[in-house]
Amino acid sequence: MSLNDNATLVVGSGNFYTAPVGTAMPSSITSAPSSPWVVMGHTSLEDIFAFTSDGGDATTLGTLQSKTLRTTYAPRTEAFNITLEQFDRSSLRLYYGANAPMLPNGTLGIPQSPEPTEAAFLAIFVDGDNYFGVYAPKSEIFRGDDVAVADAESLVGLPLAIKPLSYSSNDWAYALTPLGGIIATGATAGTPGTYTPSGADLPVSIAAMTGVVLASPTTAWTTGQNVKLDDGSAVHWSSTAWVAGVA
């Protein structure tokens, strides 16, 4: 860890989007994503976004010899909270249930057994030149709190809870885009070696290194030499390409 002024976040603007379950995150979030992503609408300026969680209680396990031998953690359920400030058909269905029917007189019926909306979810927050994204390939969207009409001067909102769900074979439910990252452009052999420039992020894969990270030396690295990827695995330079494992 180090001080990184470019990694701080002050939200200046943002938008929230949904798409069919499993829709991939856009390759760039510096502009509005294209179809099938659809913007959710106007949201609260005061209560922009909240990460909430439930569960995750810690239990300390001990023995006669060690009173605090291990700690186990219960599963944790997480959610994002936003407040929609539109009362159109699609917004009302996000709050009251995806199965809310349109009635012959043009009103929206409120179901007695509501069904949450399942969708991919994307939030994009803008802070000057920084863009911070929150992405879930699958989520449940439903009412997060009661609707209150507090006064005649404020916009009324629909509080929503977006719960990320496991999708396909992923071992994660949602993803965030780190800020202030420094791309590695060089790697020096060692046991393990180091990346340049100083403070550079560890590459996530060999594909991310190819054509970007220059090896030093450029000859084949000798036995035992390597550099680490972000997941802790090793790679080395063969004299022509990056190869998995220790030389």
Residues 79-120 pLDDT 10s = 999 999 999 999 999 999 999 999 999 999 999 999 999 999
Same domain, 27 and 145: yes
Mean pLDDT in residue range 5-12: 94
pLDDT at residue 77 tops 70: yes
Rounded distance between C-alpha atoms, residue 125 and residue 48, angstroms: 10
Could you tell me how many residues make up the chain? 247
Q: What token pair was written down for 181?
A: 């990252």
Q: Which of 158, 176, 194 is the last residue of a domain?
A: 176
- Count structural domains, the chain: 2
> How would you classify residue 239: left for phi > 0, otherwise alpha for psi between -120 and 50, otherwise beta?
left
156 and 110 Cβ atoms separated by less than 8 Å: no
- Segment 113-170, tens digit of pLDDT: 999 999 999 999 999 999 999 999 999 999 999 999 989 999 999 999 999 999 999 9
Final residue before a domain boundary, out of 126, 149, 176: 176
> Domain range for residue 205?
186-244
Q: What is the pLDDT of residue 224?
A: 96
Same domain as 212, residue 163: no
As a whole number of angstroms, the distance between CA 106 and CA 109 comes to: 9
Span 59-72, average pLDDT: 95
Whether 96 and 190 map to the same domain: the answer is: no
Q: Are residues 156 and 192 in the same domain?
A: no
Q: pLDDT band for 34, please (50, 70, 90 cuts).
A: very high
Helix (H) or strand (E) holding 94: helix 89-96
> Is the pTM above the cut of 0.75?
yes
Say what the pLDDT of residue 1 is: 60
User: In this structure, are 113 and 216 located in the same domain?
Assistant: no
